[in-house]
Structure 1
Amino acid sequence: MFRLLTSCWSRLKTTQETRRSVTIIIIGLDNSGKTVLLEVFQRLLPSRMGHCLKSELTTLLLDEYEVSIYDLNGDKKGREIWPNYYAQAHGLVFVLDSSDLERMQEVKIILTRLLSDKRVAGKPILLMANKQDKKDALLPCDIVKYLLLERLVNENKSLCRVEPCSAINNLQRRNHQSIIEGLRWLLAAIGDKYEELCTRQQPLTSSLPTSKSTRGSGARWSSDSFTTRMGTSKAKRQHLGPCSMEARPLKPILHVNGSLNVIAPRTNP
């Protein structure tokens, strides 16, 4: 019995010692469902009680990773401090309200600025297309197309996955499986270039960096024109047939579960 207990303790200790430490930030506009999404993570995954007193920090365990998650405010004032965390993060989770067509232009401008920041470029990003339970929620292919994600991830060499989800507190566990699978994808993408991302890590900054101007054509669309283009119901958009992904050289892959990977091309060394 003693030998068995010793063996179990040794295995547990080895697992803890070999677990990779990863830092990610959860960002997105206010009312996109970020906090509820984090609560789903906390409910479904084991957590490590903290040695850190920061209220915005949560540490969870998934597979071989110990994941420190910063949940950052999405209002205008809160967005001013996002850049403080960019260099600390191995990867990012961006949450958007798929049913809020009026703010999709705002999301587009923010994502363009975010991905073009040198502290973010090249890092994997998981885009959680939340509130898919809403009648007018955009499909993943709509989101890729109208946020110009293909162009953005190509320019900045960032792997991106669009994961449709509905982060609802009282939803059954099996209906939240896509949320965990999305996080697994992000951790796997981080793991593939873990050493490189670790070398880019820097401590949290104490002062706000100078904001950068938005690149590209993000400011050309108004929310009204976007809403008009998209129509008013998912059923009508589905009636138009499958979404076309003509842009090159990126090749988004639509999976059976509805998630969408937008893959940046490899560059020659």
Structure 2
Amino acid sequence: MGLTFAKLFSRLFAKKEIRILMVGLDAAGFNVETVEYRNISFTVWDVGGQDKIRPLWRHYFQNTQGLIFVVDSNDRDRIVEARDELHRMLNEDELRDAVLLVFANKQDLPNAMNAAEITDKLGLHSLRQRHWYIQSTCATSGEGLHEGLDWLSNNIANNKKT
């Protein structure tokens, strides 16, 4: 009986470790951070997004459970490029089970596209076999970031159960 409770408590309260890849067209440089959030340890690989770096993204796909794709909501000129890069990544076999969180960033700017418009322009509704979510964010104020991480942690946990 004690062993049963020990197993139950370890499942309920043990810290979970999750590997996240974060990319976007304009991310600069390379950064790896471990973020503790709600008893989950997110290891976030932010691998940069300049044209020359993008071919290297595939080296970080293995064992990735969640993909955070950051979109500049104010950059209408590059939304098609963002869509193409996103779909190129999602077609990679190593990311087939990864859940997708899109951060529609810079929502504080007056001409920013809203989440519905970005959903349409990125073609997210065509992703029928993938768990995805779009979250409006403002990185400078932190608005929307926690909601996105909540969705990500819940859906990665649910993805593991299925």
TM tier, smaller: 0.7 to 0.9
TM-score under structure 1 length normalisation: 0.53
What does residue range 42-121 of structure 1 map to in structure 2 within 5 Å?
Answer: 56-121=31-96
Measured at CA, do residues 64 and 194 of structure 1 come closer, stay the same or move farther in structure 2, by a change above 3 Å? Answer: farther
CA-to-aligned-CA distance 1:203-262 (integer Å, 9 cap, x gap): xxxxxxxxxxxxxxxxxxxxxxxxxxxxxxxxxxxxxxxxxxxxxxxxxxxxxxxxxxxx
- Equivalent residue for 1:123? 98
Structure 1: distance between partners of 2:161 and 2:125: 26
Letter of the 2:78 counterpart: R
- Equivalent residue for 2:124? 149
TM-score under structure 2 length normalisation: 0.86
Q: RCO (CA 8 Å, sep 6+): is it higher in 1 or 2?
A: 1
Counterpart contact for 2:23–2:49, Cα < 8 Å: yes
CA-to-aligned-CA distance 1:145-189 (integer Å, 9 cap, x gap): 1221111x11xx111111011111xx3xxxx25211101110110
Local SS of the residue matching 1:80: helix
Could you tell me how far 1:77 is from its partner in structure 2?
1.7
CA-to-aligned-CA distance 1:53-84 (integer Å, 9 cap, x gap): xx721111111211111111100121111111
Moved over 4 A (4+): none
- Equivalent residue for 1:253? none
Structure 2: distance between partners of 1:93 and 1:76: 18
Larger Rg: 1
Counterpart contact for 2:22–2:47, Cα < 8 Å: yes
Measured at CA, do residues 142 and 65 of structure 1 come closer, stay the same or move farther in structure 2, by a change above 3 Å? Answer: same
- Equivalent residue for 1:26? 22
Structure 2: distance between partners of 1:121 and 1:150: 16
Could you tell me how far 1:122 is from its partner in structure 2?
3.1
Given the alignment, which residue of 144, 147, 167 partners 2:139?
Answer: 167
- Equivalent residue for 1:158? 130
> Number of residues paired by the alignment?
152
Say if 2:160 is the partner of 1:185: no
Superposed CA RMSD in Å reads: 2.1
Structure 2, unmatched stretches of 5+, are: 1-9
- Equivalent residue for 2:7? none
More strand by share: 2
Structure 1, unmatched stretches of 5+, are: 1-13, 36-54, 197-269
